């Protein structure tokens, strides 16, 4: 097979709205390596957008799916349930950072989990309003887009969106937005747009994903919890990208000492299989009437089997500690380069959720062009990187937590070569 010929077929057969980053096509993958149809290998620092914390084809995941495939592939859990799904609900309840009795519902995608979290919050509070943050990303469905705080490319041309959704600024010291500014904007909302008694939930990512890996300050979490307690508003943590070890904890909320009322998870929950979940306080989760939650493929048995294997692998392979050690090594590498290359404005991260933000050294403006060039040259050297941020000027690093240390260092060597080349090109231009 030929990459170029397949790409021509893609352009003719699929709509341009489905953007594709790479000009090569995957043939096979193993742990942190992808081989294309022409046999070239790539080090995967994207992991299917944080889906593969346990790597491509983890042996436990492969074995679990194969075993389930021999039994049955689908019954629709709401028609004929199965014990493996019940056991997964119990396992998620046991690890979710929420005190007291908990319940969990399974779905298929992150966006679907977001939609259902809002449904549950509205059913419990009998209120319509939802507050989210600028720069947040919560999916491509209509409610997900309404919550998402970034227009291009996600919301462009798709409105109008569901109403009673409001946004406030997310704290960002580099942009001069303090926690007090975010809270003042929240108070302004309560005074000018929607009274607190009509707000069902405040939803946020503990670390913004598409928004640029911006970490919520602990003070923000504490103050939001206080506001929610004061006004009987539910606090929803969207951990679709941060969950299952990416930040060095099972869930990022564990870093803050603050508990949500509802926790949303997906991506690395099932090691590449489509599965998501919403976990919350039992009385909250029981608010919707029977039949109000579910989905044809929600809790697919193959995906459920994979999720059990993922949770086993996280413990067996000590991936929480690996996340911390790999992330520390990467931040050390990036901090060293930041000291030598003024284009790297900031390095930030929790565990292995690490990013580098690029700005023009002279103007301080976001520099998406440099990020695009780094991506391009890295890909030519067999290293797959992703960008993010409201201005596309942030490189995020999402390698599998199972990546061998030698391969990880090889990736950093490639990245160092690219940084040196781009820095030289910038000086010449």
Contacts of 170 (CB under 8 A, 6+ apart): 133, 134, 135, 136, 149, 177, 182, 204, 208, 211, 214, 216
3-class state of residue 91 by DSSP: helix
The pTM for the full model equals: 0.96
Q: What is the CATH number of the domain that holds 303?
A: 3.40.640.10
Task: Go through 135-167 and write b for each residue having 16 or more CB atoms within 10 A of its CB, e for each that does not.
Answer: bbbbbebebbbbbbbbeeebeeeeeeebebbbb
Last residue of a domain, one of 267, 282, 316: 316
Burial of 428 (0-12, 13-18, 19+ CB in 10 A): exposed
Clarify whether residues 217 and 358 are in a common domain.
no
Q: Of 13, 8, 55, 51, nearest to 33 (Cα)? A: 55
Q: Report the pLDDT averaged over residues 379-395.
A: 96
For the sheet with 353-358, list strands across it: 344-350, 353-358, 394-397, 386-388
Q: Given the structure tokens 């108070």, which residue do they identify?
A: 187
Q: What is the CATH number of the domain that holds 386?
A: 3.90.1150.10
pLDDT value at 276 more than 80:
yes
What is the C-alpha to C-alpha distance for residues 117 and 201, in angstroms, rounded to an integer? 9
Clarify whether residues 39 and 72 are in a common domain.
no
User: For the packed helices 405-428 and 319-340, what is the interaxial angle rounded to 10 degrees?
Assistant: 20
pLDDT value at 428 more than 70:
no
Q: Report the pLDDT averaged over residues 55-83.
A: 98
Clarify whether residues 236 and 108 are in a common domain.
yes
Contacts of 88 (CB under 8 A, 6+ apart): 104, 106, 299, 304, 307, 308
pLDDT digits (tens, 9 = 90+) for 334-366: 999 999 999 999 999 999 999 999 999 999 999
Clarify whether residues 223 and 199 are in a common domain.
yes
pLDDT at 174: 81
pLDDT digits (tens, 9 = 90+) for 136-159: 999 999 999 999 999 988 999 998
Q: Report the pLDDT averaged over residues 19-24.
A: 93
Last residue of a domain, one of 295, 316, 337: 316
pLDDT value at 301 more than 60:
yes
pLDDT at 241: 98
Clarify whether residues 24 and 72 are in a common domain.
no
pLDDT value at 427 more than 80:
no
Clarify whether residues 76 and 175 are in a common domain.
yes
Number of domains composing the chain: 2
Clarify whether residues 322 and 312 are in a common domain.
no
What is the C-alpha to C-alpha distance for residues 51 and 34, in angstroms, rounded to an integer? 14
Clarify whether residues 76 and 190 are in a common domain.
yes
Burial of 13 (0-12, 13-18, 19+ CB in 10 A): exposed
Clarify whether residues 50 and 66 are in a common domain.
no
pLDDT value at 429 more than 60:
no
Clarify whether residues 157 and 260 are in a common domain.
yes
Q: Of 414, 401, 399, nearest to 46 (Cα)? A: 399
pLDDT at 152: 87
pLDDT digits (tens, 9 = 90+) for 167-189: 999 999 888 999 999 999 999 99
pLDDT digits (tens, 9 = 90+) for 198-211: 999 999 999 999 99
Q: Report the pLDDT averaged over residues 18-33.
A: 96
Q: Which domain range does residue 225 map to?
A: 62-316
Last residue of a domain, one of 299, 316, 333: 316
Clarify whether residues 94 and 231 are in a common domain.
yes
Clarify whether residues 342 and 424 are in a common domain.
yes
């Amino acid at each position: 097979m030929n990459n170029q010929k397949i790409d021509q077929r893609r352009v003719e057969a699929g709509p341009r709205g489905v953007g594709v980053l790479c000009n090569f096509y995957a043939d096979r993958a193993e742990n942190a390596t992808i081989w294309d149809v022409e046999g070239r290998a790539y080090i995967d620092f994207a992991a299917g957008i944080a889906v593969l914390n346990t790597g491509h084809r983890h042996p436990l995941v492969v074995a679990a799916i194969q075993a389930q495939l021999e039994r049955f592939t689908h019954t629709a859990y709401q028609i004929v349930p199965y014990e493996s799904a019940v056991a997964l609900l119990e396992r998620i309840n046991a690890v979710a950072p929420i005190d007291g009795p908990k319940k969990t519902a399974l779905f298929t995608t992150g966006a679907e989990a977001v939609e259902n979290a809002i449904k549950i919050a509205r059913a419990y509070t009998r209120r319509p309003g939802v507050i989210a943050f600028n720069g947040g990303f919560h999916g491509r469905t209509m409610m997900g887009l309404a919550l998402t705080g970034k227009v291009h490319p996600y919301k462009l041309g798709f409105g109008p969106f569901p109403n009673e959704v409001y946004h406030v600024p997310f704290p960002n010291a580099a942009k001069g937005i303090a926690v007090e500014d975010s809270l003042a904007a929240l108070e302004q909302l309560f005074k000018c747009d929607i009274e607190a008694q009509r707000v069902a939930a405040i939803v946020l990512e503990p670390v913004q994903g598409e928004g640029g890996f911006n970490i919520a300050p602990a003070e923000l979490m504490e103050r939001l919890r206080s506001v929610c307690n004061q006004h009987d508003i539910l606090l929803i943590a969207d951990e679709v990208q941060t969950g299952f070890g990416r930040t060095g904890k099972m869930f990022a909320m564990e870093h803050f000492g603050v508990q949500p009322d509802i926790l949303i998870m997906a991506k690395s929950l099932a090691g590449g299989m489509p599965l998501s979940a919403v976990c919350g306080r039992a009385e909250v989760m029981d608010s919707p009437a029977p039949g109000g939650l579910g989905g044809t493929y929600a809790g697919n048995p193959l995906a459920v089997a994979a999720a059990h294997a993922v949770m086993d692998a996280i413990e067996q392979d000590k991936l929480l500690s690996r996340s911390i050690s790999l992330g520390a090594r990467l931040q050390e590498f990036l901090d060293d380069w930041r000291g030598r290359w003024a284009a790297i404005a900031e390095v930030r991260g929790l565990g292995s959720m690490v990013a580098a933000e690029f700005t023009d050294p002279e103007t301080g403006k976001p520099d998406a062009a440099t990020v695009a060039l780094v991506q391009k040259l890295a890909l030519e050297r067999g290293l797959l990187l992703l960008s993010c941020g409201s201005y596309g000027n942030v490189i995020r690093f999402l390698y599998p937590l199972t990546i061998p240390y030698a391969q990880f260092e090889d990736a950093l060597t490639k990245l160092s070569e690219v940084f040196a080349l781009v820095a030289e090109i910038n000086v010449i231009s």
